[in-house]
Each structure stands twice: as structure tokens, then as C-alpha cells.
A and B are shown apart, each in its own frame.
Chain A
């Protein structure tokens, strides 16, 4: 991630708990540079939506400081809010309005409003301007929410689990439109999704959250280049590899050992040798972002 570029979102030492109980995360710090698409990935309950709620000012952080466009999130000014497009989990919108009403409503608030962007997307849905949003399918509602975000023409897009409830076609449509828009207009995007495979086509950088901490924060192409999955046929018990602490999430199915690491092949070979393991069958496997996510967070 380019640390020298201007940060649109800056989070420093954020600590949050569920009430006074379990720590969601402690001293979380990250930055989202201008013009990048960053995905916040994590299993359920790791604090993805909590982070978005804090950033948008719907949850007071227990410790730490968050800034968006340099402004503290505890008191975002209307001018700064106008620069942020927000997609709430489940594509929630004012469903009591019609397609036409909601466009007219939002257009009053945003000076850079692009009506054509909204209606271009609506044309694909074959819906009339008089159709009420509540009478539309989940997929169609997601496109209304996306259309409104595109029309707002904001500098920062914050999207909370955009893929929730969408079938593959609508997910693909959403991603294609969003990527084209974000790249053409140099927008910054901060997003979460529980379907990792969708994000591989979309995000530049990723933050992988585990319970209480950040596991990794880096550009996706670097992650897929440097983080590797290895397989090795061996009779040695899996505990040998777990206890060594040399590899990430080692697991064994029948005779095949599987593990993950950021280390290069030579180093992996040498470390396995020090454990007294025959490395003749060692193989480095191709990985998708979802594989990398499983590799870092584990299957359970």
C-alpha cells in the first residue's frame, strides 16, 4: 500500500468491545489512500460492520481516533458527509419511495448529482419511475442503491457487505459497474463483503481481520504473489508442524499436509528439513483471494 499518498480514511489505535464484554479489536490502525479500493475482510463477528458504524458516526469508539478527509468522525460536517456515499448492509434505502421520487429526493442534497448515471442503471432493470422500491426484488433494490451511489458522484464510497442477498448475476453487475466507476473517476472505496471471491475482481488492497486484530494489510496482488499454499505428502503428525510455529494454519487430510506461509520456497524447504521431514513431494499451489483468506484466518 502506498503510504506516501494522501489518506482519505485514517484509523488510529481503535479499540472496541461488545458493551463491557468481549474485545472486538484492540489498537486497530489502518489508512485508506486516495484512489484505492480497499476491502475489509473477516469472518462473521470480527468487527467489519462495527468499523463502518464507527466511521460513519453511528457508534462512539471506546478508544482511538478516526478521521475521514482529515475530519474527526465524531462530528462530520454536512460538507464532508456530502463527499461520502454510504451503502448500508442489505442495500437499505427509502423503500416507501418510488424510483423517481428517491432520485429527486437525493438530487437536492448533492451538488455533483449525475441523474443519467442513475437512470442508465434503472433502464437495465426494466422498471418504471413510478414503481415503489418496496415492491422490487432484493437484486433490483441493490441496483437502486448502487445507482444512487453512482449518481451522488462522491469522493469516497463506503459499502457494507454489498453482496448480501444477491444472486451471482446481480453481484457481477454491481462489481462491474462499481469498478468501472471507481477507476474512471479515481474514487476511493472502502468496503466489506463476506463473499471473498467477489472482491478479487474489485479491490486493490485488503485488510484481513481476525478476532481482535489485523492479520494482514497489503495490496491484493502482493498478497497473492507472496503468500503461498503448500502441500506435502508426509506421515509426520500435523502437531509437529503446528508446534513448530513455522507455518500458518497447517492441516492434514489423510496423508497430505497443507500449510500456508509468506516465506519463499527455498526457505520453506530448509525449514521442513530442519524438522526432519522429506520434502521431495513439496508443491506450491496457485491461490485465489479466498484461498489466501482461508489460509490466514483458518477454516474454523
Chain B
């Protein structure tokens, strides 16, 4: 049954998954090429210098990519469930409803994780070939809140899509915008290092939102 449920989620999201993966890879390769070009023109010492003195990580281009991917994947996965109230079919399946919703979210989160890990690996592997480990970690820790923003955006979008009333959708959307803005407030490198645990816990807690939307759907709170 689990295999069938994961398959259903995959059928809905695979196109967005591959487009997102292509986008993530292209943007990561572009960031790598920019660094490579600078090294060829001015040498690797110059690159280190800029990174240390000017707080430039050369990966600013990927900043909003996880956010966009999270939004797109959430819509691709949950919009078909709410179109024609297809969610009724899903909730009617002979499978525990809590586990079912959890599995749907887990599938989406794993897809996001795969995309983000591949993108981070491209940047990380190249950086490790030209930068000392301290700088590689600095770059990676700088990108981490952006990836969390991707997961957060996904969880907010899924809860908004699964919500049956417009008033709640607007409230969730406003809340989502407010939470997501936190991830992009500080432009400095590693600005969020001290908050990483709080960000992780907050992201995990956001999964509750979708369960709440489902519970309200089952009570008949639908426009």
C-alpha cells in the first residue's frame, strides 16, 4: 500500500521534480562557473580574499531557488487533490488517514531533499577542490537557511492547498510569507548559525498545519 501511495505522489510530482532538479543543477553549475572564471582571471587567492574580506560566497544566485522549488512542488502535489475535491478519494482509501497524510508529506519532503542535496553537492564538491574546508563549511552553512526556506514554503503551500476555506487559506498564506521572510532578512554569511536548531524544529512543526487542514476538511469546513 505504501508503495502505491508513494507512486501516486510521484505521478503527480515527477514533472515538477525533474524541472526543479534541472533548474537547481543549472543554477549550481552557473555559480560554479562564475567562481571558476574568477579563478582563471585573477587566481584562487583573489577568490579567497573576496570571500574572507567582502563576505561574498559567490552563491547568492541560488538564494531563492529552493523557495521557488518548494512552492512549485507543493502546488504540483496538492492542487490535484483539491481539484474536484479529489481528496475524498484519497481519504477513503483503506489506510490509516494520519499515516496517509504523513506519507504524502514525506514523499514531497524527500523529493525536495534529493534536489537540494544534489545542488549542495555540486557546489560543495567544487568548493572543496578550490577552497579550504573552513570556507567550504562557511558556504554550506550560508545556504542551509535557504534550503530550510524551501521545506517551509513546501509545508505552507501543502497546508494552503489542503485547506477548504478561503479565509484560512489567506491566514496561512500571510503567516507563510511572514515566516519565510525571516529566512532572508540577514544577508551576512552564516548569519543564521545560532538559529539553526530553532529553524529545524520550526520546519518540523509546520507539518502539523497540513494535518489541521485535513481535519477541517473532514469536518466539512469547505467553501
Contact = CB atoms under 8 A, between A and B. Distances in A.
A90 B220 contact: no
Q: What is the interface of chain A mostly: helix, strand, loop, or mixed?
A: loop
Contacts of A53: 220
Interface stretch (A25-33, A79-87, A118-126, A227-235): A79-87
B86 A81 contact: no
Interface residues of A, number: 27
Given A57-B218, A58-B220, A109 B88 contact: no
Interface string B1-37: 1011001100110000000000000000000000000
Contacts, number: 69
Given A58-B217, A60-B219, A92-B86, A97 B94 contact: no
A120 B91 CA distance: 27
A90 B80 contact: no
A79 B94 contact: yes
B93 interface: yes
B1 A56 contact: no
Contacts of B88: 56, 58, 86, 88, 92
Contacts of A84: 92
Contact of B86 (A78, A94, A101): A94
Given A58-B217, A60-B218, A96-B80, A109 B95 contact: yes
B11 A97 contact: yes
A92 B91 CA distance: 14
B4 A108 contact: yes
A60 B88 CA distance: 14
Given A56-B88, A60-B219, 19 more contacts: A53-B220, A59-B220, A60-B218, A81-B92, A84-B92, A86-B88, A88-B86, A88-B88, A92-B84, A92-B86, A94-B11, A94-B89, A95-B80, A97-B11, A101-B11, A105-B7, A108-B4, A109-B1, A109-B4
